[in-house]
Amino acid sequence: MNLCKKVLSGQKSSVKATAELQIIPRAQHNISRKDISKNALKVLYRLKDAGYDAYLVGGGVRDLLLGLKPKDFDIVTNATPEQIKKCFSNCRLIGRRFRLAHIVFGREIIEVATFRGHHETDNSKHKSDDGQLLRDNVYGDIDQDAERRDFSANSLYYDIKDFSIRDYWGGVAAIANREIELIGDPDTRYREDPVRMLRAVRFAQKLDMQITPRSAKPIYQLAPLLQNIPKARLFEECLKLFLAGKGLDTFKSLIEFGLFQQIFPNLAESVASENAAYQLMSIALRNTDTRINNEMRVTPAFLFAAFLWHEMEQAREHYQAQGMPAQDALHTAASAVLDGGQYNVTIPKRFSTTIRDIWALQPRLEKRAGKRCLKLLEHPKFRAAYDFLLLRTEIAQGEQATELTAICTWWTELQKSDAGKQASLVNQLNSQADKRRPRKRRNNGKRPYNKRRRSNNSEQSNND
């Protein structure tokens, strides 16, 4: 970062009305090839050797300048997707709106894009009535590609030929000033792709930066455009927003801009009043952040189970009030919430199944029914359900808080105990349950009264 500041020579702002190329030689920045993925370097060099221009671009360059370890390494080139595919046998082409090449190295995927260009004057062919881009397969050169980037901090190109950085929109200055600055007219750029509003919030929280006033102001008005984004894409954006270790801060920022309410309109009232549902969401995000920052495993299902729990509980109570058995009411309520389409994301089945399990296990954890407790420990989703019960306990009040705390303490001790101690805990629980259970009346050895036989005898007597 200090090396970047040498380049700035007194610049105070990164805002630029037009592109102004600044080439930063290797001696004046801190990016080293040893910090770049070996597979990304393979792709860069092979494209260069094949006669094409190739650059490391975007977040990878930005994070390296900040001294961070990039999660992904994206590459741009003047080669078309078909030409890229000819260079790599491990290449697959994806995308409809804009064709991309994925170079697969085991678990690592290097994404390679062709320089994007400007569209024709007639916007009706590639834009919706709201100004959203529908088709984007227009190729250009690096100058046009730089103008098509979203934020100045992401419009940086690392040249594999001489290891210099090409900065078109004051990206280095934006990084030094810790600014998230949109390239071009914010209103137009957000309309082209409303997801840019989510990206602005995500980068600001992830990198501890501030969205500039001119880039922040239109978000409040244009937030409803998120409803035009495919639900599957919004789900993927939610994963990036909430599973990066800054989920709670991102959550609060999304609410401030009115963006969260567009993704989850069914939760708008809860976040406005900061009620129990809001508190559970906040605690779940805090818990997830802690696990991620401690390099522990997390699942999106846990977060979505917390987001939608109170809505499911309300539906369950409604069905039970209509006379439906408790277990049936829970399953019906879960289906109504998960399949009802009240929110603007599509939760894949592999996660919605886990959400149902977490919810369905809550009553079983609370009842602690006899020897079934030990069987419950073997359930694949027991740990997630137990952690969820702990979260519920944190926001519980009054008698419910006392009861849930005792239940959680019991389950915690059961998990830590050996087989003998576990049997003792279960037996103790059973004996307490027997004391509370009402005694059955004894008939002192007499034959049980049979109403049907009595009735038959009466009829026989009358017939006689």
Structure tokens that stand for 286 in this block: 């805090």
pLDDT exceeds 60 at position 455: no
Q: Which helix (H) or strand (E) holds 54?
A: strand 54-57
3-state secondary structure of 122: coil
7 confidence band (pLDDT: 50, 70, 90): very low
* Catalytic pick among 35, 49, 53, 74: 74
Distance CA 261, CA 278 (A): 12
- Identical fold for domains 2-185 and 233-250+260-431, yes or no, is no
What is the pLDDT at residue 86?
95
Is 289 labeled as catalytic in the residue annotation?
no
What is the pLDDT at residue 125?
56
* Catalytic pick among 72, 136, 187, 249: 72
Distance CA 132, CA 170 (A): 26
pLDDT exceeds 50 at position 3: no
What is the pLDDT at residue 98?
79
pLDDT in tens, 163-187: 999 999 999 999 999 999 999 999 9
3-state secondary structure of 80: coil
What is the pLDDT at residue 387?
96
pLDDT exceeds 80 at position 448: no
* Catalytic pick among 150, 167, 193, 289: 150
pTM of the entire predicted model: 0.84
Distance CA 216, CA 244 (A): 22
Is 141 labeled as catalytic in the residue annotation?
no
Q: Are 97 and 133 in contact (CB under 8 A)?
A: yes
Lowest mean pLDDT of 19-23, 281-285, 355-359, name the range.
19-23
CATH class of the domain at 233-250+260-431 = mainly alpha
- The fold of 2-185 is Beta Polymerase; domain 2 (3.30.460)
> Residue 217 carries which side chain, given as an amino acid letter?
K
Is 150 labeled as catalytic in the residue annotation?
yes
pLDDT in tens, 205-264: 999 999 999 999 999 999 999 999 999 999 999 999 999 999 999 999 999 999 999 999
> Buried (b) or exposed (e) across 305-315, using 16+ Cβ within 10 A?
bbbbbbbbbeb
List the domain boundaries for the chain. Answer: 2-185, 233-250+260-431
Distance CA 280, CA 307 (A): 7
pLDDT exceeds 70 at position 445: no
Whole-angstrom CA distances from 249 to 53, 166, 256 are 39, 32, 11
Give the Cβ contact number of residue 280 at 10 Å.
21
> Buried (b) or exposed (e) across 406-436, using 16+ Cβ within 10 A?
ebbebbeebeeeeeeebeebbeebeeeeeee
Structure tokens that stand for 297 in this block: 């495993």
- Kind of pairing between the strands at 100-105 and 91-94: antiparallel
What is the pLDDT at residue 340?
85
Q: Are 347 and 304 in contact (CB under 8 A)?
A: yes
pLDDT in tens, 95-133: 877 789 999 999 999 999 999 987 655 555 555 666 665
